[in-house]
Amino acid sequence: MSPPIQMTPVRDRLRVAIQKNGRLSEPARALLASCGLSWRESPDKLFCYGESAPVDLLLVRDDDIPGLIASGLCDLGVVGRNVLGEQMSDLRAANRDASVSELRALGFGGCKLSIAVPNDWTWTGPAMLSGKRLATSYPALLRDWLDANNVQADIVELSGSVEIAPRLGQADAICDLVSSGATLAANQLKPVEDILQSEAVLAGPVRDFDPALAGIAEMLLRRLDGVMKIRDSKLLMFQASRAALADVLPLLPDAEPPTMYPIGEDGMFAMQALCHGVVTWQRLEELKRAGARGLMVLPVERMLA
Ligand SMILES: Nc1ncnc2c1ncn2[C@@H]1O[C@H](COP(=O)(O)OP(=O)(O)OP(=O)(O)O)[C@@H](O)[C@H]1O
Ligand SMILES: O=P(O)(O)OC[C@H]1O[C@H](OP(=O)(O)OP(=O)(O)O)[C@H](O)[C@@H]1O
Ligand SMILES: [Mg+2]
C-alpha cells in the first residue's frame, strides 16, 4: 500500500520573523509599521496578525530567524548581518548551500565584529594571533577571517560575556561585537581589526517565493524601498535666478533632478529638489550665498517611484 500523501498547507499570508525582545525589536516593528502595516497581537505576543495587509509577525529569538526562513516556516526576517553571516558561513563550512540571503540593509542596529586584544599588546597584524586562543560567539566568521589571513589559532566558543575571557585566563584575545567600545574599555581591551560591519538586514530565502506569497512579498519590498529611500530625505524649496543656477545646483546634497518653473520676475525660478543627503544649516547658508533665496526644508512622508 502506498504511504498517505502529506499535504503541506499553502499559506496565503506572509510571515515575517522579528526579534521578540532585544535591540532590534522596536526598530524592526517601527520600520514595518512605516510600510503601512499594523497588527493585532495574540495574547501570548509571539504572533501578531496583520490587519492592514496579509503580513503576520512572528516574535522569536534572533538566532532562530535564519533557520525559520530556511525551513519555509517564515518568509522574511529582520536580523543582524552578524547572526545571518555566522549561520550561513557555518553551513558553507559543512559544504551545504547558504539558503538564506540578505535582501536589504536596513540602516539600524549598526555595530562591528572586531578582534580585540589586551591594551598592553603592541599590535603588528593578524600574524600575532598565531598559536593564540581567541574567545568568540562567532566561530564561523572568525574561522573565515583567520583562514583568509593564514593564521592558525584556537577558537574558544562562548555564548556571551566574551570580553571577560582574557581576564579569566580563558583566552588571549577576543572577537566580539563592538559599538561604543565601552565594554572593551571596561575590560582593558582594544579593537585592532574589524571582521564585519554589521547592521540589521532583511533576510529572505535564496529560492523564489511561493507563488501565493510572491505578490505580497513584492509589495512589502517595494514599500520598504520607498521608506528607506526617503528616510533621511528632505524636499528643498527655494527660488533662484537663471544666472545663479550654475552655482546653486552643485550644492544640493545628493539631489534628484529639481523641478523648476518660472515665476513673475524676469529670469527667476521657483525650484524644488528631493535631497537624499543631509541638508545642514551650513549647506543652507552656502546655498544662500550662491544666490538661492526663500529656502525651505520640508519632511517627506511617503514616496512611490
Ligand atoms: N552594542 C551593540 N550596539 C548595536 N547593535 C548591537 C550591539 N550588540 C548587538 N547589536 C546588534 O543587535 C542584534 C541583537 O542584539 P541583542 O543583544 O538584542 O541579541 P540577543 O541577546 O542575541 O537576543 P535574543 O534574545 O533575541 O537572542 C545583534 O545580533 C547585533 O546585530
Ligand atoms: O561597544 P559597546 O557599546 O560596549 O557594545 C558591545 C557589547 O554589546 C553587546 O553585548 P550586550 O550588551 O548585548 O550583552 P551580551 O554580552 O549579553 O550579549 C556585545 O556583545 C558587546 O559585549
Ligand atoms: Mg540571540
Q: Which residues surround ligand 3, an ion (CB under 5 A)?
A: 62-63
Ligand 1 atom with the shortest distance to the CA of 61: 26
Residue 29 is assigned to a structural domain of this protein? yes
C-alpha cell, 192: 585592532
Confidence of residue 4 (pLDDT cuts 50, 70, 90): low
The atom of ligand 2 lying closest to the CA of 186 is: 4
> Domain with 268 in it: what CATH number?
3.30.70.120
CA of 132 to the centre of ligand 1 (A): 27
Are 73 and 212 found together in one domain?
yes
Q: Kindly state the average pLDDT of the residues 11-30.
A: 96
Grid cell digits, residue 281: 544649516
Give the tens place of pLDDT for each residue, 154-164. 999 999 999 99
Question: Which of 211, 230, 249 is at the close of a domain?
Answer: 230
Which residues approach ligand 2 with their CB closer than 6 A?
Answer: 160-161, 163, 176-183
Percent of the chain with pLDDT over 70: 96
Do 238 and 179 belong to one domain? no
Asked if residue 304 belongs to a domain, the reply is no
CA distance 241 to 220: 42
Q: Give the DSSP H or E segment for 284.
A: helix 281-289
> Distance from the CA of 183 to the center of ligand 2, in angstroms?
7
Q: Tell me whether residue 305 is in a domain.
A: no
Note whether residue 154 is domain-resident: yes
Per-residue pLDDT reduced to its tens digit, 265-282:
778 999 999 999 889 999
Which of residues 180, 208, 230 is at a domain's end? 230
61 C-alpha to ligand 3 centroid (Å): 6
| pLDDT, mean of residues 81-106 | 94
User: What secondary structure letter does DSSP report for 148?
Assistant: H
- Asked if the structure places residue 2 within a domain, the reply is no
* DSSP three-state, residue 234: strand
Find the mean pLDDT for residues 122-147. Answer: 98
| C-beta atoms surrounding 304 within 10 Å | 7
CA of 79 to the centre of ligand 3 (A): 10
**Confidence at residue 266, expressed as pLDDT on a 0 to 100 scale:** 79
The predicted pLDDT at position 107 comes to 94
Question: Which residue segment(s) compose the domain that 20 sits in?
Answer: 14-109+200-230
Q: Which residue has the cell 527667476?
A: 268
Q: Which residue, by CA, sits nearest to atom 22 of ligand 1?
A: 62
CB of 61 closer than 6 A to ligand 1? Answer: yes
Instruction: Give the number of whichever ligand sits closest to the CA of residue 26.
Output: 1
Find the CATH number of the domain harbouring 40. Answer: 3.40.190.10
- Pair (48, 91) in one structural domain: yes
Residue 160 Cα: closest atom of ligand 1: 21
Q: Is the pLDDT of residue 86 over 60?
A: yes
Position 97 pLDDT exceeds 70: yes
CA-closest candidate to residue 226, choices 138, 303, 130: 303
Residues 147 and 166 occupy one common structural domain: yes
Mean pLDDT over each residue of the chain, to the nearest integer: 94
Ligand nearest to the CA of 21: 1
201 touches ligand 1 (CB under 6 Å): no
Arithmetic mean of pLDDT, 88-116? 94
What integer pLDDT is reported at residue 115 of this predicted model?
A: 98
Cell numbers placing 62: 534572533
Q: Span 7-11, mean pLDDT?
A: 69
**Minimum-distance ligand to the CA of 174?**
2
Crossing angle for the helix pair 81-93 and 139-148, nearest 10 degrees?
Answer: 70
Q: Please give the tally of structural domains in the chain.
A: 3
Q: Would residue 9 count as lying in a domain?
A: no
Residue 83 near residue 62 (C-beta atoms within 8 A): yes
**Could you report the per-residue pLDDT of 189-212, keeping only the tens digit for each?**
999 999 999 999 999 999 999 899
Q: Ligand 1 in contact with 23 (CB < 6 A)? A: yes
Can you tell me the distance from the alpha carbon of 291 to that of 247, in angstroms, rounded to the nearest whole number?
Answer: 8
Mean per-residue pLDDT for 236-254? 96
**Closest-approaching ligand to the CA atom of 185:** 2
- Contact at 8 Å (CB) between 196 and 83? no
Cα–Cα distances (Å) from 229 to 18, 86, 105, 109, 234, in that order, read 22, 28, 12, 18, 11
User: Which residue would you say has higher pLDDT here, 266 or 249?
Assistant: 249
Asked if residue 31 belongs to a domain, the reply is yes
The DSSP call for residue 271 is: E
Name 114's bridge partners: 176, 194
Give yes or no: residues 162 and 184 share one domain. Answer: yes
> CB of 70 within 8 A of CB of 205?
yes
CA-proximal residue: ligand 2, atom 21 (nearest): 177
211, 220 Cβ separation under 8 angstroms: no
Residues 93 and 122 in one domain: no
119 located within any domain? yes
Predicted model pTM? 0.86
Residue 2: pLDDT over 60: no
Contact 274, 300 (CB under 8 A): yes
Question: Is there a single domain that holds both residue 86 and residue 209?
Answer: yes
